[in-house]
Chains A and B, each alone.
Chain A
Amino acid sequence: MNDKSKKTSAAAVLTKLTRNQIFIPLAALLLLVIINLIAGPSFFKISYSANNAGNMIFSGYPITILDFGSELAILAIGMTLVTAASGGQDISVGAAIAIAGSVMLRVLCGNAGSRPETMQAPIIVAFLAGCVVAMLFGAFNGVLVAFFRIQPMVATLILYTAGRSIAAWINNNELPIINEPEFGYFGGIIPGIPIPTPFLIAVACMIVTALVLKFTTLGLYTQSVGINEKSARLNGLNPTFIKFLSFVILGLCVGVAGLIKVSRLSTINYSVIAKDIEMDAILAVALGGNALGGGKFNMVASILGAYVIQFLTQTLYRFKVSSDALPAYKAIVVIILVVASAPTVREKISSLWKNRKAHAKEVG
C-alpha cells in the first residue's frame, strides 16, 4: 500500500514537472549537457588566467556561453512581453540594435571625426541617448501595432528593412572606432572582476525584471491583455497602452543589448551587427514554452531558453559544424517545438498517457 502510494506520487511529480513550462528549456539544456559530456568532459572545464591586459579572467566553454548569450537573454525579456501582450513578435530588434549602437558611437565621437583620440561625451550620456532612441523606435512599432492594429510582424518589417540604412545614415556611413579601453568594459571585462561584464549586465536586467514583475501589475495586465483583450478592457485595463508599453520596454532591452554589442569590439558594422538576432530572440521565447500567440508567459523559461540557444550554438561550433549551417539546426529545434506544441499532438500525447495509466491500473 505504502509502496503504491509512493509510486503514484512519483508519477504525479513527474506529470507536474512535464506540465511545467520550464520543463522544455530544462530538458533541452540537459540534452545538450549530456551530448557534450559524452563527447568529452573538457567542455565544462573552467580556467582562471590573465588576459593580454594583465587582468585575471575566468574562461572556458560555460563562461563563453554566459558571455555571448547575454544580449540574447536581455532581448528575450522584452520579446516575451511583446509576445504575451500582442500575440506577435518584433522582427526589427537586430536593425534597432544597429541604430542604438550607431547613436551611442555618434555621441561618443561628437565632432571629432569617426576615430576620436578621446571620447567626446561620458559613456553614460551615449548609453542613455542610445536607449532613448531605441525606445522611440520601439514606440514607433508599438503605435503601429497597438493603435493601428497592424500585425506585429508586418509592422516591425518596416524597421527591419530600413533600420540598418538609418544606422549608417546616423554616422554618415563612417565606421567609427573608439580607442579608449574603458568603452570596451561593457562587452569585455572590468579590471578586477573576472566575470564577463555582459553576463553581469544581463543579471542586473533579470533582477530589475523580477522586481518589476513582483511589485507591479505589469505581468498580470500583460497576460490578461494577451489572453482576452475584450475582457481585459471590460475589467478596466487599457489593452492599447499595455501593448504599446511592451514595445517600449523591448526598446529599452534593445538599447542595453546594443551597448554590449558595440562595446565588444568598440566599433560597428551596420550590415552585420546583431544580424539574425531577432530570430534567436523569438526562438528563445518559443523554447521557453511560451505560446507565440500571446497570453501567459514564463520569464525565467524565456531567459533559460536564450542561454540554451547559445549553448546549442557553442556546441555546434565545438563539433566544427559549418557556421552557415547553424540556422538549419535551429530550424530543426523550431520544428520540434512547434509540432510538439500543436493542439492535435498534445491531445494525442495526453490520451496515450491516460491509456497507459488506465492499463497500469488494470494490471495492478
Chain B
Amino acid sequence: MKKKLLGIALGLTMVAGFCVTANAEGDLIKVGIINNDPSESGYRTANVNDLTNTFTEENGYEASFAYNNDNAEQIAAAQQFIQDGVDYLLLSAADVAGWDTVLQDAQNEGVQVILFDRTIDADESLYAASVVSDMAKEGQTAVEWLAGQGLDEYNVIHIQGVMGSAAQVGRSGALDEKVEAEDNWNIVVQQTAEWNAEKAQQIVQSVIDSGEAFNVIYAENDDMAKGAVAALDAAGISHGVGKDVIIMGFDTNKWALEELKAGNWNYDGQCNPFQSSYLVDIIEKLEAGEELDEKVIIMEEKGFDAETITDEDIEQYGI
C-alpha cells in the first residue's frame, strides 16, 4: 500500500515536472501511458520496456507513465492525465469495465485515446484506435502446428491459465474445437494451473503417477510448460524434438526459445508485447490529419518450431 502511495506521489510529481518542461518546448507530443504493473509477468516487463524506449524526448514525445493493476487507480490516473492536458492517452486497462465516463471526459477535452494490449467494454466512438493481440488466433496457429506433426494419436495434457482471462479463453478454444472434431485427439487431463509453474508440475506429476499415456503437453504459457517439463524430467520421460512427448508453450520468453533451440521443447507461440511501433504509426497518422484504415489493429504473431528457430529469432522475438 505504502509502495502504491509512493508510486502515485512519484507519478504526480513526474506529471507536474513534465508540465513545466512542456511550456518550454511546445513542439513535443504529450502522451499519458497507463499500463499494468511491470512485475505482473515477463510479458508485461517487455511491454513496459518497449514503450519507455519508444516514447522518449529524442523521438519527439513527452511521456508520463502510470502503472497499476487496479482498475480504479488506473481511472484516477487517466483523469489526472486529462487534467494535465495530454494530447494522447494510451491505455492498457486492468479491467474491461468502468471506462465510459473518463473516456467521455477525454473526448470533451480533445484527448485522443488509443487502447493497446487489452480491449475494453466501451463504445467504439470513445477511442481512436486499439492495438491488440488475437488470442484465439494464437491458439489456432498452435493447434494447426500440432496437427501438422502427423501423430497417429494425440493424447494431450492441457494446462490452462487463469480461467476467464483473454489468453486462456483464446488459447483453450482452438484446442477444444480440434479435440471435439477429431477422433484421434483426446484430452488426458484439462486443468488450470493459473499461470503457476509449480501447480503445472503437480498436475503433470499426478498424470504420470496415474500411469495414463500422453504424448503432448499443451501449456498456455511458458512458466507452466517449464513446470510440466520438470515433472517429466523427474519421471525419466523424454521430451522435445523426436522424443516421446511434445512440449508446447506460449509467450516466447527468451529462456523458453532457448529450450526450443536446444530441442527440449517443440513449439512456442508468440504473444506480441511490442505494440509501440503500431502506436507510433497511429499517432503520426492522426497528427498528419489522416484517416486511419482500421480502428482495431490486430498484431502479427508468430509460432516458433524447434526445428526451424534461429538465434536471430531468439534475439528478435524473445522477451
Listed in ascending order, the chain A residues whose CB lies under 8 Å from chain B are 42, 49-53, 57, 59-61, 64, 68, 115, 161-162, 165-166, 168-169, 173-175, 177, 188-189, 261, 264-265, 267, 269-273, 275, 313-314, 317-318, 320, 322-324
Contacts and interface: CB of A to CB of B under 8 A. Distances in A.
Interface in B227-282: 227, 230, 232-238, 255
Contacts of A320: 189, 191
Given A269-B196, A272-B196, A52 B206 contact: no
Given A175-B42, A318-B206, A265 B233 contact: no
Given A57-B234, A265-B226, A322 B208 contact: no
Given A52-B236, A265-B230, A323 B209 contact: no
27 contacts: A42-B210, A42-B211, A51-B233, A52-B233, A52-B236, A59-B234, A61-B209, A61-B210, A162-B1, A162-B2, A162-B3, A168-B39, A175-B45, A188-B234, A264-B198, A264-B201, A265-B201, A269-B197, A272-B196, A275-B194, A313-B202, A314-B206, A317-B202, A320-B189, A320-B191, A323-B193, A324-B194
Interface of B: 1-3, 38-42, 45, 163, 189, 191-199, 201-203, 205-206, 208-211, 223, 226-227, 230, 232-238, 255
A275 B162 CA distance: 13
Interface centre among B40, B195, B210, B234 (most CB of A within 10 A): B234
A318 to B, nearest CB: 6
Contacts of A269: 41, 195-197, 223
A307 to B, nearest CB: 15
B206 A317 contact: yes
A315 to B, nearest CB: 10
B47 to A, nearest CB: 12
Nearest to A274: B198
A273 B1 contact: no
The secondary-structure label for the interface of chain B is helix
A161 B1 contact: yes
Lowest 8 CB-CB distances: which A-B pairs, in order?
Answer: A168-B39, A317-B206, A272-B196, A52-B233, A173-B39, A61-B209, A51-B236, A323-B191
A200 to B, nearest CB: 15
A52 B233 CA distance: 5
Contacts of A322: 191-192
B40 to A, nearest CB: 7
Contacts of B45: 173-175
Contact of B230 (A264, A273, A317): A264
A95 to B, nearest CB: 13
Nearest to B223: A269
A64 B206 contact: yes
A269 B2 CA distance: 22
Given A42-B211, A60-B209, A162-B3, A51 B235 contact: yes
A224 B1 CA distance: 36
Interface centre among A115, A264, A265, A318 (most CB of B within 10 A): A265
Contacts of A324: 163, 192, 194
Contact of A323 (B41, B195, B199, B208): B199
Nearest to B159: A323
Nearest to B253: A175
A323 B192 contact: yes
Given A173-B39, A264-B230, A265-B226, A59 B255 contact: no
Contacts of B255: 115, 177
Contact of B234 (A51, A161, A323): A51
Contacts of B195: 269, 272
A327 B195 CA distance: 17
Contacts of A64: 202, 205-206, 209
Contacts of B233: 51-53
A317 B237 CA distance: 20
Interface centre among A115, A165, A166, A267 (most CB of B within 10 A): A165
Contacts of A53: 233
A49 B202 CA distance: 19
Contact of B235 (A59, A165, A177, A323): A59
Nearest to A166: B3
A275 B236 CA distance: 28
Contacts of B42: 175
Contact of A271 (B40, B189, B193, B198): B40
A168 B38 CA distance: 10
A335 to B, nearest CB: 24
Interface centre among A50, A68, A313, A324 (most CB of B within 10 A): A324
Contacts of A177: 255
A59 B230 contact: no
Contact of B210 (A50, A318, A323): A318
B39 A271 contact: yes
Contacts of A42: 210-211
A332 B194 CA distance: 22
A163 B210 CA distance: 37
A269 B162 CA distance: 15
Contacts of A174: 45
A168 B3 CA distance: 12
Contacts of A323: 191-194, 199, 203
A169 B209 CA distance: 38
A52 B39 contact: no
Contacts of A59: 208-209, 234-235
Nearest to A321: B191
A364 B307 CA distance: 83
A163 B189 CA distance: 34
A188 B40 CA distance: 27
A105 to B, nearest CB: 14
